[in-house]
Chain A
Amino acid sequence: MTSSQLTSRADSSARARKARSALVSYGGALLIAIVVFGPLYWMFITAIKPNVELFTSPPRWFPNDPTLQNFVDVLDPAFLQLLGNSLLVAGATTAVCISLAVLASYTISRPSGKSGKSVIVVVLVSQLLPPAVLLVPLYRSAESLGLLDSHAGLIIAYLTFTLPVAIWLLHGFITSIPVELEESARVDGLSSFRAYFTVIIPLARPGIAATAAYIFFTAWQDFMFALVFLTDEDKRTLPLGVLGYIGQYTINWGQLMAASILLLIPILVIFALVQKQFIAGLTAGAVKG
């Protein structure tokens, strides 16, 4: 056997291994893509099916006559009202929650964060409490304070599960900023509080953005509290409103899916914007603890 034959055989077995490896990679990637996008594809084609095609059985995988009519039908004043309510509630929750969490992080994380440990434990424990358990007492408190059927009541209720998460995430982002930066600002004569807001907070901006995105998303998609707190049609938020397309006997799947897509879009846009920081924050917290 000559040496060239040997190398060529080694070459071909290496090539075979490479081909097998590529097959695994692309086969696996295709599977993931099908799992993730398959249901989304169905959502999309249902939303663009004309009425006649919605109720053909067996269902069509490619609409014969795609239309945007469902979106036009969905986008009526009532839907815009729902959208406005959701934006208001989720936006206000995010603003209040982030302000409180930024303040809290000053005490917890700076400069050495010694006193912070017990606070973090409290925060974590409350993060892990079942929201359903808080539902009854919060409902009764809101009832006695006249906060039922009001957006303010809902926003306050959302702080129960957003505030702990926000403090926890921000604490992680802020402790990762070197203390030396703040110390040098203090040498320049700034008080600890001023140094925190002029030096640390600007540096933590990506982390704050990611935290805000998560809080917005949590409030945006909440269903349980909205279901219990809101009975007034004009006050309802989108997740509740979407269920309105489910009639007692029939379901208008086209409009339901069109409305769902409209509800999903803001979330996807926000996540596309802060995705890097968000995943970094999420995994950093989990990898370290």
Chain B
Amino acid sequence: MTQLAVRDREARPRRELDARQRRKISPYKRREALVRILCIAPPLLFLAALVAYPLAQTLYLSVMKSTLIQPDEVFVGFDNFANILTSASFWNVVSNSVVWTVVVVALQFVLGMSAAVILNRRFVGRGFLRAAVVIPWVMPGVIAAVLWNLLYEPYLGPIAQLLGFIGVPAENAAWLSNTSTALFAVIIVAVWKGFPLSAIMYTAAYQNVPEELREAARLDGAGTWQVFRNVVLPSMAPTIRSTIVLTTVWTFNYFDLVYVMTNGGPGDSTEIFPTAIYRLAFVDVNYGLSSAYGVISVLILGIFTVLYLRQLNKSGSLNR
């Protein structure tokens, strides 16, 4: 901190000097500025072409109507949005997405934090377990999906068999084909696949909590839970906030698991925004409606992005 301040103080007069020199002649400086622009231009152009332009096109398509039978685009104003907001299937997607995101993120937080607490205790094999816990997270989504489809299989999978021991008949264990349980079955998989990231983040943050702080609280008579609640958690707050925002965005955008495991079904009981956007565009070939769904999901995520950037600003990592 102090080092930075000193560097700043030294830098200022020098920069003024630079400016004075530049006003005279500095082909060298000008060349350096040119190199800098040349370096940033290709990535920025790529992002403009690959992110900004598609985004603009999504906005444009969301006010147009085009279908498979009538592919020419016709301007329809906000008709697509009006259609969506009055349709039950849209509100089903909204409620599924909210349940999906909130439950997955909450469970990932609880499981990740519990795992972090365990992984910071002393036991033989801790280094190995810390490394191995990452495996579900690095596993491709498609593989996690087919693996859990097998685990959930009512006749061939181990989960139904274990439930059978406590008297649940196999027919009732077909969670993925039951409209009232399918979403939660996929949620469990998303938690399994995602909690390792939270565990890693919290394990690292936990290690950064000064031992003296915990020791001092303990000497003041705080119990294990009180120390955790009043000392450890507050010091981990920045990590917790950014991890939660990140996992929220990722969970909201998740496609592979739902597509492979249930394909939005049965019925539309597991349809969330990404699968709905995909289905409308590539199965129904209704780009207008699909784009309107897209615009709404961008708006929802925009709120989270703003929260994320504000969090980054607060912790100062943008001003490094």
Q: A residues bordering B, Cβ < 8 Å?
A: 21-22, 24-26, 28-29, 31-33, 35-37, 39-40, 42-43, 46, 54-55, 57-59, 61, 100-101, 103-104, 106-108, 112-113, 117, 119-126, 128-141, 156-157, 159-160, 163-164, 167, 175, 179, 191-193, 217, 220-221, 223-224, 227-228, 239, 242-243, 246, 253, 256-257, 260, 263-264, 267-268, 271-272, 275, 279, 282-283, 285-289
Contact = CB atoms under 8 A, between A and B. Distances in A.
Interface string B118-130: 1101110110010
A163 to B, nearest CB: 6
Given A36-B135, A130-B274, A287 B143 contact: no
Contacts of A130: 252-253, 273-274, 277, 294, 297-298, 301
A119 B43 CA distance: 10
Contacts of A37: 132
B238 interface: yes
SS of B interface (majority): helix
B94 interface: no
B164 A58 contact: yes
Given A117-B318, A129-B301, A100 B142 contact: no
Interface stretch (B99-107, B200-208, B213-221): B200-208
Nearest to B278: A132
Contacts of B252: 130
A103 B43 contact: yes
B143 to A, nearest CB: 4
A177 B128 CA distance: 30
Per CB-CB distance, the 8 closest pairs between chain A and chain B, nearest first, are A289-B317, A221-B140, A28-B118, A137-B54, A283-B204, A132-B274, A137-B57, A107-B40
Contact of B161 (A31, A58, A275): A58
Interface in B264-320: 273-274, 277-278, 281-282, 287, 290-291, 294-295, 297-298, 301, 304-305, 308-309, 311-312, 315-320
Contact of A125 (B122, B138, B305): B305
Contacts of A141: 53-54, 57
Nearest to B260: A243
B157 interface: yes
A101 B256 contact: no
B318 A131 contact: no
Contacts of B32: 191-193
A48 B140 CA distance: 21
B277 A133 contact: yes
B301 A132 contact: no
Contacts of B201: 282-283, 286-287
Given A55-B156, A113-B320, A128-B249, A121 B54 contact: no
